[in-house]
Structure 1
Amino acid sequence: MIEFVEALGEHAFLRGALLAGLLASVACGVVGSYVVARRISYIAGGIAHCVLGG
């Protein structure tokens, strides 16, 4: 398991992808909590469907 984690740091692309995934997960968690707390989930769902073209 340690070798796998060390291998992620060797390549710049993997390091960048891991960092982007980490930042996206934190941002989505914060925004998702805000949406649920403000009870605007229908608006958020509508915006998501408009953005994705479906």
Structure 2
Amino acid sequence: MQSSVFGQIAEIVGVGCAEMCDGRSRVGCWLSFGVKTRCTPIKQIGARHA
């Protein structure tokens, strides 16, 4: 039952999560937004971008 709205929210949350997803911050990230699926892949991308 995943709607387009949820997908958009996931993308928005993913962006905000990417900013916070750094070391210990990632915990507060998915705890605050309730979404941690974006954290793992974005962390890899962030490390690559750094």
Q: TM-score if structure 2 supplies the norm length?
A: 0.38
Higher helix share: 1
Q: Which has the higher contact order (CA 8 A, sep 6+)?
A: 2
